[in-house]
Amino acid sequence: MSDCLFCKIVAGQIPSTKVYEDETVYAFRDINPMAPVHILVVPKRHISSADEVTAENSADIARIFEVIPRIAKEEGLTNGYRVITNCGADACQSVKHLHFHILGGKQLPDNMG
């Protein structure tokens, strides 16, 4: 998707602070961190949201969930962390390329407001 912000980040057309990369997964630091550790993990190929996950692309998502604990360990999140994906308007999804937030490094609030 040529007009997608995270596709451009994956392609290196927009700079990012890379945390992890393999054939199908890219992870980088959120530009507006909500916690001491705030990382976004995305599939390299464009999937608009969690609502677009199918049997055809779910291997990329499974891979993301293999990578998340590795990143958490490297970031020192030994006391826990939160993984969030916002899907659609009610969830305030602002970038329409599926991404998983990893949040940690402090005690996170126990309600979503």
CB 49 within 8 Å of CB 93: yes
| Catalytic option among 38, 97, 99, 101 | 99
Position among 2, 32, 79, 111 found at the interface with ligand AMP (CB under 6 A): 32
55 near ligand AMP (CB under 6 A): no
6 contacts: CB under 8 Å, gap ≥ 6: 40, 42, 95, 97, 99
Q: Are 16 and 29 in contact (CB under 8 A)?
A: yes
Figure out which of the listed residues 78, 94, 107, 111 binds ligand AMP, where binding follows CB under 6 A: 94
101 part of the active site: no
Q: 55 is written with which tokens?
A: 């049997």
Should residue 95 be labelled a site residue for Zn ion when binding is judged by CB under 5 A? no
- Interface positions with Zn ion (CB under 5 A): 1, 4, 6-7, 46, 97
